């Protein structure tokens, strides 16, 4: 009968315990936030390529895109939310737009909600052509983000196992 003998088994188990303790908060958190940063940078870059139009659109003649001021407001409000644990084993971060731009109207006395502006630009309206900048950015950066997470987790595991 074959036997397996582990030398320094306690040391190995201690490394595994350290890895488990830091896995969710540190190892996975770094990987997820790094990948979210890649996607957010691509969204910001895609947003810069959205055509702007300073005029008013109609059904018959929609504008090409939002005003330059609205695009600036979107770029300034783009961010990554805190990581959430949904309790099912998945960790999530959200990338999105927060707050209001400075275009104040009777309907929007605090300024236009940036989430609404982003949705209008992404999907279009009756008076503005659609410019799916988020969808294109996510598609363009997906492989890089997944590769970053894989490399980040592998590197962290390797460092933990080699340490001491």
Distance CA(44)–CA(78), nearest Å, equals 8
pLDDT band at 164 (very low <50, low <70, confident <90, very high): low
pLDDT of 60 higher than 90 = yes
pLDDT of 147 higher than 90 = yes
Portion of the chain with pLDDT greater than 90, in percent: 66
- Residue 19: phi and psi, rounded to 5, are -65, -45
Portion of the chain with pLDDT greater than 70, in percent: 84
- Does residue 5 or residue 19 have the better pLDDT? 19
Q: How many angstroms separate the Cα of 156 from the Cα of each of 19, 36, 40, 47?
A: 9, 18, 23, 33
Distance CA(122)–CA(74), nearest Å, equals 12
pTM for this prediction: 0.83
Q: What beta strand segments (E) does 71-136 contain?
A: 78-80, 84-85, 91-92, 95-97
Dihedral sign (CA 148, 151, 153, 159)? negative
Per-residue pLDDT tens digits for 73-106: 999 999 999 998 888 878 889 999 999 999 999 9
- Asked if 73 and 102 touch (Cβ cutoff 8 Å), the reply is yes
Residue 151 CB coordination number (10 Å)? 12
- Does residue 87 or residue 127 have the better pLDDT? 127
β-strand pairing of 91-92 with 84-85:
antiparallel
pLDDT of residue 118: 98
Distance CA(117)–CA(162), nearest Å, equals 49
The DSSP secondary-structure symbol of 93 reads -
Distance CA(28)–CA(132), nearest Å, equals 30
């Amino acid at each position: 009968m074959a036997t397996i003998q582990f030398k320094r088994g306690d040391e190995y188990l201690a490394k595994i315990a350290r890895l488990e303790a830091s896995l969710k908060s540190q190892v996975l958190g770094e990987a997820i936030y790094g990948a979210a940063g890649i996607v957010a940078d691509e969204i910001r870059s895609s947003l810069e390529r959205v055509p702007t139009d300073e005029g008013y659109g109609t059904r018959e003649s929609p504008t090409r895109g939002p005003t330059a001021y609205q695009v600036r407001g979107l770029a300034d409000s783009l961010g990554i939310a805190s990581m959430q644990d949904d309790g099912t084993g998945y960790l999530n971060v959200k990338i999105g737009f927060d707050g209001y731009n400075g275009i104040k109207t009777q309907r929007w006395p605090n300024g236009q909600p940036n989430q609404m502006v982003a949705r209008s630009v992404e999907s279009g309206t009756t008076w503005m052509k659609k410019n799916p900048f988020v969808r294109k950015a996510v598609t363009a950066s997906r492989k890089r983000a997944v590769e970053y997470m894989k490399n980040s987790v592998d590197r962290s595991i390797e460092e933990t196992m080699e340490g001491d």
